[in-house]
Structure 1
């Protein structure tokens, strides 16, 4: 490549002005670490040539200017000043073809480019003039060399014809094989390389989703018409063979039994191959708490049956974990939580977890006579000690053993209860999304509330069904969740002889855009107690509304039927609904306007005897790698006398 220069007297003027501009000042310009705090001003360095790079001529196309910065050696090495003028010129000369390629990629096929260094322009095919290197050396340690990438972009070329053909036949695909909506690239769009790459990715994704694991997209040489400023392009696609899923191996396990990992893989040999199937494998295996990372590797060729073998490579997490959290609500009060867990107790990914919770009820109201007491009182302290054990994949099957035990003191504004409970259950996983569970439960407790004292014992048979197709547990962006449970109880002492408790909750999430920055979330819950009288049902088993996980803006469990003195006594049925619009402002900050509706009723079915209560507010979300941090401000609508004017909730994860 020949680069020709013409020496211009004004170059010496530029150098003189730059040198004079620092006379009487310190030896360095004020700078801010190359843009870290806003300005991108280089520092004058002794024995080196500091320079400032700018792009001119693309004010109306910021994307094209950014693409130039992406490929420019001058821009990339601007924080590493060259030692002399010769090195600076070599950087500029190497940038010329790079900038031209970047402009072609942005759709400017007739662009002219020059780089002005210290007042002298260089361009492709013209040698640099003698004396410029010496001129540039005069800047060393004294001033910043001005470097401008000057672009005359010319017309923006557009695609005239975009054709997608089958590489095997040379003809376009049938619409049933390749619908027109698959590829977003259309005629008359700017002829940018990024658009072609996006179209190739869309084609590859489409055919892989239709069980073609070895699809190849070939971009043929485009035809450029400089008279009409248009580009014709042909994308040839070789779909390759249709394949199913072959044998699935498990590697990477050290202390965890591989049979446990296999039980969480729901794909079978011969199932259709698709990227979604691989994603489902990664997600389901990741649910094993002892597993930290999951990678699904595809074989490079099909097996004898025309299927694609897979290898599930896992990495194990440290077996022991210790954690703590703090939660605060202006109405529910402060809470502390600490836990310890072992994720692989006996080598079969068994999880043993111990929890300790402590909370304090802020309200000073005492339901007995409605009196108030000021200051701290030990009666408002509540807490829980709990232990849970999970043995997944019993005998390598999809059955899991779950054991839970807890001691709980619950303190609310209208009742106090002390309960010891234990449950043993078996869960069967049909798929990663669908499972059923059944077991036996025992409780011994005492509750005190406006309806009296209840000393009781319970034996129940909890049954539940769960379906969860959401993509993320703490911050879902699509799918829905449904959980339905029913527990028949046999009671002793003050409890009813027989009664049943049922509950169903469903939530759905809908993303309005591909990037999941705008999400609509809806939750509906219904619960009912059949059998027994309201006074016989232990207070903690009745239904109440209000609080951070129910109707925000109201105190915890403050909504429901009341006695003659206005004390909330709880109900035998419950209805709740929540609506949220989750809006991401940036990648880490979001806002969530929301409305909650709910109420508990004295009868076994919501009968309208109590007015539905509404809470509304605005939430702030800070998105982290483990989930969003939630800050919600809520107010009760049509607030009644004695109710707080607002409530604030802080926690990890979305409200539902």
Structure 2
């Protein structure tokens, strides 16, 4: 074995580099889906069935016999992946001599596969009717005759007999640095590599250690770090392995010049404004991953590929090359949602992702939804349906990113809405209003931004406290921080927003309003693959400067609904006023907790708990009762995000609240 030293007996005739077998086992090339691998009602053949016997070919069948090996099933799959006989089982050879040579060529790959799993004393034998072929042997006339005896009769039965023996363990693990002067680059290399004496000497363990060492050094701003030599020494008699890694940490480096390619209709300066790396910044793989995510937040960009230079520039920095692909300019879509409490809703939208050639996005949306009855009547049959039972919303949003190549974005949003919100038992409000907001957003990083703008809203609301005709003019200010790893399915990080907005009010009332909102959500994965995720959210709101009946109903706070306290109707949790009707509140508190558990790669369950209420006071009064709910969700994970089905039940329901509510949507609840 080239590159290996062994103590004890040798395995004769074994060729190739076992270090390569341990650390670079090559996967099979991808293949198109083959219906012959199925046997559905006999419509398709099965690859487990050998080709038909004939006078011109010599088909065979293969059996792997691993005796009483503890991991026989997994080991059999490993051997099948390595076996030429197994891969070519549908390609019958013309004669016994060709098949015998195919068998001989299979021995070394099978031994290498066993070695990759730590079975260094494994014994491999291929047998046909008593004629045997072992490592180091050549096929003889007896084996050829045994194979030819099956011509035109039945497939030749080839048995692969494996005596794997014990899994070898690691005895000594050394990690040496090359070319480093002074303190070592890795203070505790064994801890980084996660290899220790007694661990199984498998290919996966050695590969993981190699990757961990390189990843650690790259995270320390050493982009050229590599493993330059691996020295495994196997002692067959003692059934152990000693292994030495020789690491070249490479020099400390920063980011060099950043080249941008692949842009066709999107100006490169727009892409550059979403890259927060600057020449000389310390090199970091995480910074590159964050950069990729930041670039793809541009609606006109579909994907970003970041390639690193293979050597440092004259300043000791690593050049970076960014290649982007652009998305189709136009998008049209339709979506639907349903809740057993809030009812059905449909939405259609149209979007242009590069309106004027500067990656400007214009999005138009139209929503139609069922407005709940709040006057004690109900829809029993189709004839009861009235035009006022339909609510609607038309909205638009425009974004011009990277004004003059800077990190400032122009945002213009507007909507016109007619809605009725509440429940039959506790009432609610009706509203018609139009709003337009123009803002400038300053991006400081891929996670942090601030925003300031001018907002104008004109409308009319009616509820148990009366009718309010109003015009609001305000200056909303907001700050956003988002370090999560996904928009629709976050598993790690924090998402926080806070806003303040002073408003001058014109119309029936002229008091000023001062509105404050804040929310924070956190996500913590309990394992590396994020199969178990804890998620929590807290929200707060407050309005000062006006009495409750002077505030438009749409600006008051309410809790309840699929994005708030599940199990209660949308915006149905608030103080009660005259006639025991909802009035909304001047403050709000909401909290949610979830455990997101993946059962399989595509199916998950989510037990959850929600709490919340709106209060008449300017600040939440926790002496009052909070509405509580609990439930269980089902998630179906797709490439675009999880499909959510939540079933929630109020824990302290009021008279008239339904016992359960069902919500169906795309994306996590928060």
Q: Could you tell me the TM-score, scaled by structure 2's length?
A: 0.89
Partner of 2:17: none
Is residue 237 of structure 2 the alignment partner of residue 245 of structure 1?
no
Is residue 390 of structure 2 the alignment partner of residue 381 of structure 1?
yes
Q: 2:460 & 2:236 partners in 1: Cα distance?
A: 87
Task: Quote the offset at 1:79 in angstroms.
Answer: 3.9
What are the within-5 Å matches in structure 2 for residues 313-462 of structure 1?
313-361=323-371, 363=372, 365-367=373-375, 370-375=376-381, 376-413=385-422, 414-462=428-476
Q: Is the 8 A contact 2:275 2:294 kept in 1?
A: yes
Q: 1:34 & 1:213 partners in 2: Cα distance?
A: 55
- Among residues 550, 556, 567, which one is paired with 2:581 in the alignment? 567
Q: Residues 633-654 of structure 1, C-alpha deviation per residue, up to 9 Å, x if partnerless?
A: 1111122321101011111111
Q: Is the 8 A contact 2:38 2:44 kept in 1?
A: no
Task: Quote the offset at 1:221 in angstroms.
Answer: 2.7
Is residue 132 of structure 2 the alignment partner of residue 121 of structure 1?
yes
Is residue 158 of structure 2 the alignment partner of residue 147 of structure 1?
yes
Q: 2:206 & 2:42 partners in 1: Cα distance?
A: 32
Q: Is the 8 A contact 1:44 1:141 kept in 2?
A: no
Task: Quote the offset at 1:395 in angstroms.
Answer: 0.6
Q: 2:151 & 2:460 partners in 1: Cα distance?
A: 85
Alpha-carbon distance change, 420 to 204 in structure 1, aligned in 2, over 3 angstroms = same
Partner of 1:264: 274
Partner of 2:101: 90
Alpha-carbon distance change, 90 to 324 in structure 1, aligned in 2, over 3 angstroms = farther
Q: 1:624 & 1:555 partners in 2: Cα distance?
A: 28
Is residue 58 of structure 2 the alignment partner of residue 51 of structure 1?
no
- Among residues 635, 647, 651, which one is paired with 2:649 in the alignment? 635
Q: 1:35 & 1:59 partners in 2: Cα distance?
A: 34
Q: 1:326 & 1:38 partners in 2: Cα distance?
A: 42
Q: Is the 8 A contact 2:69 2:164 kept in 1?
A: no
Partner of 1:26: none
Task: Quote the offset at 1:42 in angstroms.
Answer: 1.2
Q: 2:128 & 2:199 partners in 1: Cα distance?
A: 35
Task: Quote the offset at 1:41 in angstroms.
Answer: 3.3
Partner of 2:612: 598
SS in structure 1 of the partner of residue 558 of structure 2: coil
Q: 2:278 & 2:181 partners in 1: Cα distance?
A: 36
Task: Quote the offset at 1:118 in angstroms.
Answer: 5.6
What are the within-5 Å matches in structure 2 for residues 222-241 of structure 1?
222-241=232-251
SS in structure 1 of the partner of residue 486 of structure 2: coil
Q: Is the 8 A contact 2:118 2:200 kept in 1?
A: yes
Partner of 1:16: none
Alpha-carbon distance change, 598 to 31 in structure 1, aligned in 2, over 3 angstroms = closer
Q: Is the 8 A contact 1:544 1:560 kept in 2?
A: yes
Is residue 226 of structure 2 the alignment partner of residue 216 of structure 1?
yes
- Among residues 507, 524, 527, which one is paired with 2:538 in the alignment? 524
Q: Residues 476-512 of structure 1, C-alpha deviation per residue, up to 9 Å, x if partnerless?
A: 1111011001111111112442011110000000010
Is residue 56 of structure 2 the alignment partner of residue 42 of structure 1?
no
Partner of 2:8: none
What runs of 5+ residues in structure 1 fail to find an aligned partner? 4-28
Task: Quote the offset at 1:257 in angstroms.
Answer: 0.7
Partner of 1:473: 487
Q: Residues 36-93 of structure 1, C-alpha deviation per residue, up to 9 Å, x if partnerless?
A: 9998731552545152443423631244333212211122233444444444333322
Partner of 2:24: none
Task: Quote the offset at 1:550 in angstroms.
Answer: 0.2
Q: Is the 8 A contact 2:587 2:617 kept in 1?
A: yes
RMSD: 2.6
Alpha-carbon distance change, 437 to 195 in structure 1, aligned in 2, over 3 angstroms = same
What runs of 5+ residues in structure 2 fail to find an aligned partner? 1-10, 14-35, 423-427
- Among residues 629, 653, 670, which one is paired with 1:615 in the alignment? 629
SS in structure 1 of the partner of residue 548 of structure 2: coil
Q: 1:514 & 1:239 partners in 2: Cα distance?
A: 26
Alpha-carbon distance change, 400 to 119 in structure 1, aligned in 2, over 3 angstroms = farther
Is residue 659 of structure 2 the alignment partner of residue 645 of structure 1?
yes
Q: 2:610 & 2:302 partners in 1: Cα distance?
A: 36
Q: Is the 8 A contact 1:339 1:353 kept in 2?
A: yes
Q: 2:387 & 2:313 partners in 1: Cα distance?
A: 69
Partner of 2:174: 163
Q: Residues 192-238 of structure 1, C-alpha deviation per residue, up to 9 Å, x if partnerless?
A: 12211111100000001111111121343322222221111111111
Alpha-carbon distance change, 58 to 75 in structure 1, aligned in 2, over 3 angstroms = farther
- Among residues 186, 196, 200, which one is paired with 1:186 in the alignment? 196
Q: Is the 8 A contact 1:407 1:420 kept in 2?
A: yes
SS in structure 2 of the partner of residue 540 of structure 1: helix
